[in-house]
Chains A and B, each alone.
Chain A
């Protein structure tokens, strides 16, 4: 199966110079700033059901209902309507919207790692421009956006990874195989955080590996705001549900480092391929939820993880073991696979030898390196509460997406931080979708025939033609040959009607595929 992945990032926001700013209104306004015209096509929410669970049932519990209600509880009546029309579906295949009072950028579906890095970076550019426009539109104050995951006061927001996998693998196998990887990968994916949130931690733990580890309470579950689980079970494949699952990974940090973003998504893609091949090493952690938090907070950087049955290992050894198994299965497959394996190995070796060699690649190392220099230069003390507040301000500034002030962006400008994709490529990704996934079809359809697009979602586009409504089903537009045919069709068609005609005349999809035209779905709205 081809790789297909994406990232969805909720941004934190602050208005400098206006202590009374309504952050709900600001989040809505930031999204609308990209295109103030509300005549954009609507996002098709009717096809989404946040209660469907990958374990094979539909959740019907009070706290799940409360979470769903929480999506709109902060909104005033006039904001509810604005929120419903607030989605911006972009010609680069991405989606920009207000999610739980945070502006969120969902990248287009990508099949190549560096396309995803470019798309993620394009999201930063788009968000930065939205912030600039919003600041201009305000009478006072400056709106700033942060690509991080916490406000240091117990409120977290996510950067979720999405990977398409086959439906044939049992969900219990997914959980068993994935958990040791997710618990331990933070040693190179963590973005670093000054301070602890939630219950108290070990003495001396003022700086931890991740922004998110403080916020997970259970192993498996559907909730994303309250009782967050290491493995999220929301069953929204955005593809043919008989054939695919979408793994919705919510444990990761938002990375400023392009390298960390690539390694985070790339290693998981390879682990999932190993998992689907039934070749995962049998590693069983005694208490994964506690270990997730303990590894993040361990001031000694030994990162121990107790194993089922009484033994102990450590995060580094678990990762080495997984790397070994993945290498045996995947090495030599293609250049991208080998890039991931090479850098996965290099990073683990540096973590065991001299983590400071990872400045500019691994976010938690880079941030800690900056903080240590600042502490030395200013004579600060980790144990002084006032100084800790100043260091948290530096932590926040690390995640500013403004190149003029962001600390990580400053390191990029100095050449200290590794850049994987050229800025030109990121700039192109603001306007153009990746060419080898269905995101291209969706983006080009909007660009060329947007006036006819009535509503859409990741795997369906509804067109309003003279002859009536026609729905294009993209739920199986995933195989390379099918994607190529669809993408050619949207380039060659000279009208929306012609596009439908061309799609009718395509070669029949592969056995089992049902890609094609379908009657429009019934909608409540």
Chain B
């Protein structure tokens, strides 16, 4: 799962010299991280168990754009 950084032989495109200070950016306009540090997954797992296992097999579409 770890992307890229271990490949020593790679011809790297230069990264930014230093990260910009996040506090200097327009954070007040952005979203807030949800308060749930460890979300309870029981509800969503219940929802997943109700999904018809065959619904993707039956799902047929015509090509769009």
Contact = CB atoms under 8 A, between A and B. Distances in A.
Interface extent on B, as a size class? 35 or more
A414 B44 contact: yes
Contact of A320 (B16, B27, B49): B16
B35 to A, nearest CB: 7
Interface extent on A, as a size class? 35 or more
Interface in B1-32: 1-5, 7, 9-17, 19-20, 22, 24-32
| Candidate in A307, A327, A414 with the most chain B CB atoms within 10 angstroms | A414
Given A393-B56, A410-B43, A156 B64 contact: yes
Contact of A346 (B3, B22, B39, B60): B22
A313 B60 contact: no
Nearest to A228: B65
A250 interface: yes
Given A23-B61, A303-B3, A414 B43 contact: yes
B44 A323 contact: no
Contact of A331 (B20, B27, B39): B20
A23 B64 contact: no
Contacts of A304: 4, 7, 10
A349 interface: yes
Contact of A341 (B2, B25, B41): B25
Contacts of A55: none
Contacts of B27: 339, 342
Given A301-B3, A414-B36, A100 B63 contact: yes
Contact of A389 (B44, B57, B63): B57
Interface of B: 1-5, 7, 9-17, 19-20, 22, 24-36, 39-41, 43-45, 47-65
19 contacts: A74-B62, A100-B65, A156-B64, A158-B65, A301-B2, A302-B2, A303-B3, A314-B3, A315-B3, A320-B13, A320-B15, A320-B16, A321-B14, A336-B29, A339-B25, A394-B51, A414-B40, A415-B34, A418-B33
Interface of A: 10, 12-14, 19, 23-24, 74, 99-102, 114, 146, 150-153, 155-158, 160, 187, 224-225, 250, 259, 281, 283, 301-304, 307, 311-318, 320-321, 323-324, 327, 331, 334-339, 341-343, 345-346, 349, 351-352, 355, 360, 370, 373-374, 377-378, 389-390, 392-397, 405, 407, 410-411, 414-420
